[in-house]
Structure 1
């Protein structure tokens, strides 16, 4: 097939394959994300996903959660050798039906697992029915036999992610210890799957069984301490919003790195002249004094910030519960 008649995903795969073969992309190095491929080649995200899927099936790349797709370590036959699987033409039978021995029977569980891997590696924006189909190496319509729409795919995938952590059968003693366990459990899930923080505002809560299990843990911890029902629900929403609000920055940082190619520290270093100008202006004396007290600079650690904020929230709630227990809470 002449290059100009090749489907776009094959042309993209061929170019990335060339970069890997020549060492331009070394083992362990991140290859362009689906977002970057879509931007650079002017194609849809599904087409970009299909190109990376071809390389993944050839063993040239692998998807790592929160890292993205990277060049795989050399193993087995190289691309272009007789043993390497050939990329099927767009719409060809080989694309629609891969070997059952390689993929197993298509079912909802496999679809949702593939969706979870895709969202973890590329972010929520890359998650679509076509992208999941491309990742599984099946026809674009095949997943619709098990999942009715993209919206359902996102919700079911989110429910799968929220269900990865369970709570102990015997809760720790005391409401505060129980809330700490719940908060840290949710934080660990957002840490593992940062795209979860992008799903929905708290004003439109997700009705998901596995997410409700986290709410049940928190609500049970708040029962029986003199708080009225509205206050209990407000407290739960406040705690969840706090955790989600910190977690939003995990995905935003990943997106910023993918867009700019700069790490967090590299970006901060590039802003040093601008910050120096603000200090030199004399308009911000409090900030200038703080900077002077931090000779080694300030390192923003989201995990430490989460713990700091959680402790302060629970300290305030302690005072509220003590007032309620004493019968003096009239707020």
Structure 2
């Protein structure tokens, strides 16, 4: 007798579809992440990804960057009949391209974080066999580099066709470059995780960014090493804050809690710390915030840090100009005021 038990991904689809149609999961509400589904149903991440892909193809869920997969707004088309198996027919291999593989991978990383990304999860999202994806990219490491170069191509630098005129002053150019990089990292937080500063990614579109930043510093008296240091500092400022977006994505995916819900769970611990008497300055500062508390806004921190860094660059340029010739250069080389 043939085995009529539905495959694991289909059972997950059926349960989530029921929760959505019964109203247990409302439009805009997060559905369990691939990692939570894999843990709860004891299946592979790729199986969980396939289940969410089926629901996305049915129009029941949407993937949102830095949020995850949420219930879609109803589109007034009939629910699939019992036994409906959207993903049972893999897409024709002729429909798979390297661009589609890369874009599918970007979608997974945007919604679920890099931990959810694998060649199997990409193939599941495309509705094809894992080996088919390998025909277009050499493996996960190659895929991540392609993903990075693809999203960095969207850097909104002013000199690009839709970006307007480029600022003429060094500070305006550096601000424009840093904000463009921040904008891309906000949209794709996983970018901050793909490589250490000591091993820079030699990607064409990242080189475009570095060319922009270095050209802003060129001709102002800085040494080549100082120019590169400034470029790295501004880049790491963006990365250092953007990595928090990625960690929040991962934390939501793992715990199912928003940052507000997590903070609410920590209230007893916070009360114990602030009433212990061991941290008087912290307690006074937090208490002065009142009932609204402290709202950590990464965009504000980015602007605060960018201003401080550029003020420091301005001092470097003033010093470089003061040491450009004659007696002043001699004094500076000996560290004299």
TM-score normalized with structure 1 length: 0.89
Alignment gaps of 5+ in structure 1: 99-103
Aligned with 2:289: secondary structure? coil
- Cα shift readout 1:30-50 (whole Å, capped 9, x = no counterpart): 111111111111221111111
Question: Offset at 1:277?
Answer: 2.2
Aligned with 2:78: secondary structure? coil
Aligned with 1:281: secondary structure? coil
The 8 Å contact of residues 10 and 87 in structure 1, kept in 2 or not, is answered as no
Alignment of 1:57-68 (within 5 A): 57-68=57-68
Worse-matched range after superposition: 291-300 or 305-314: 291-300
For residues 235 and 88 of structure 1, the distance between their equivalents in structure 2, rounded to whole angstroms, comes to 50
Pairing 1:278–2:273 present: yes
For residues 212 and 174 of structure 2, the distance between their equivalents in structure 1, rounded to whole angstroms, comes to 8
Question: Offset at 1:319?
Answer: 0.8
Question: Offset at 1:61?
Answer: 1.9
Question: Offset at 1:88?
Answer: 5.2
For residues 31 and 208 of structure 1, the distance between their equivalents in structure 2, rounded to whole angstroms, comes to 35
* Corresponding residue for residue 168 of structure 1: 158
* Corresponding residue for residue 244 of structure 1: 239
Question: Offset at 1:144?
Answer: 1.9
Alignment of 1:247-326 (within 5 A): 247-295=242-290, 296-326=292-322
For residues 57 and 289 of structure 1, the distance between their equivalents in structure 2, rounded to whole angstroms, comes to 52
Question: Offset at 1:85?
Answer: 5.1
Aligned with 1:69: secondary structure? strand
Pairing 1:70–2:60 present: no
The 8 Å contact of residues 96 and 139 in structure 1, kept in 2 or not, is answered as no
Alignment gaps of 5+ in structure 2: 160-164, 324-328
For residues 136 and 88 of structure 1, the distance between their equivalents in structure 2, rounded to whole angstroms, comes to 9
Question: Offset at 1:123?
Answer: 1.3
The one of 127, 131, 135 aligned to 1:137:
127
* Corresponding residue for residue 326 of structure 2: none
CA RMSD of superposed structures (Å): 2.1
The 8 Å contact of residues 66 and 245 in structure 2, kept in 1 or not, is answered as no
After TM superposition, the runs of 4+ consecutive aligned structure 1 residues lying more than 3 A away are 328-331
Question: Offset at 1:51?
Answer: 1.2
* Corresponding residue for residue 100 of structure 2: 110
Q: Which has the higher contact order (CA 8 A, sep 6+)?
A: 2
- Cα shift readout 1:102-137 (whole Å, capped 9, x = no counterpart): xx8321122222221121111112222221221111
The 8 Å contact of residues 127 and 154 in structure 1, kept in 2 or not, is answered as no
The 8 Å contact of residues 36 and 254 in structure 2, kept in 1 or not, is answered as yes
Aligned with 1:70: secondary structure? strand
Cα pair distance change 1:288/1:21, threshold 3 Å: closer
Aligned with 2:18: secondary structure? helix
Question: Offset at 1:260?
Answer: 2.5
Question: Offset at 1:225?
Answer: 1.1
- Cα shift readout 1:126-158 (whole Å, capped 9, x = no counterpart): 222221221111222212222121111111011
How many residue pairs match? The answer is 319
For residues 229 and 302 of structure 1, the distance between their equivalents in structure 2, rounded to whole angstroms, comes to 31
* Corresponding residue for residue 47 of structure 2: 47
Pairing 1:181–2:171 present: no
Alignment of 1:7-46 (within 5 A): 7-46=7-46
* Corresponding residue for residue 151 of structure 1: 141
* Corresponding residue for residue 101 of structure 1: none
Cα pair distance change 1:309/1:85, threshold 3 Å: same
